[in-house]
Amino acid sequence: MSSPFEDQILGSLRRITRAIDLHSRRLAQACNLTSPQLVCLRYLATEGECTAGALARGVSLSQATITGILDRLEARGLVRRQRSAADRRQVLIELTPPGRRLASEAPSPLQDRFASQLAALPADEQARLDQVLKQVVHMMEADDLDGSPILESEDTLPPQGR
């Protein structure tokens, strides 16, 4: 026999998954970007030119993931890679004017809105939510999955951007 809350909990988990997926699809339709691509553009717009390694650390993604994202953004003319004048071994990433424009005009990533609402909760509620979600992660056998701060359920990169 199931708990009276089982259907409600499973329904809430499905709604969370759908919200992430819908936001990713809307972002792809609105500006032909994935959430990770937009986060990278916004980081570059805020921090200025940097190496791929610094970008990876700044947005909490792996170097391999950043390389793929930069390849796609560069192919679209949104970022430019160039050797550092100070140290020719370093390759710096910078936004192009179209990349800067898109970074400022694109909708906010889902995690930005969520993070601001989460920050508004009292510390004890945040701690309780953290504890419950860690338990859910464990129950879903997802302890070893990437915990990237970018909320995206799948790679929803539009076909022409691949």
Query: What are the residue ranges spanned by the domains of the chain?
Result: 6-161
Quote the Cα angle for 28-34-35, to 5°. Answer: 120
Going by pLDDT thresholds of 50, 70 and 90, the confidence category of residue 158 is very low
Residue of 63, 78, 65, 1 whose CA lies nearest to 32 = 78
Q: Return the percentage of the chain with pLDDT > 90, whole number.
A: 55
Domain 6-161 has CATH 3.30.1330.40: no
Query: Is the model more confident about 75 or about 27?
Result: 75
Exposed e or buried b per residue across 87-115, where buried means at least 16 C-beta atoms within 10 angstroms of its C-beta: eeeeebbebeeebbebbeebeebbbeeee
Length of the chain: 162
Q: What is the pLDDT of residue 34?
A: 87
pTM comes to 0.70
d(CA 72, CA 130): 35
Going by pLDDT thresholds of 50, 70 and 90, the confidence category of residue 162 is very low
Going by pLDDT thresholds of 50, 70 and 90, the confidence category of residue 119 is very high
Quickly count: other Cβ atoms within 10 Å of residue 137's Cβ.
14
Which amino acid is it at 40?
A: C
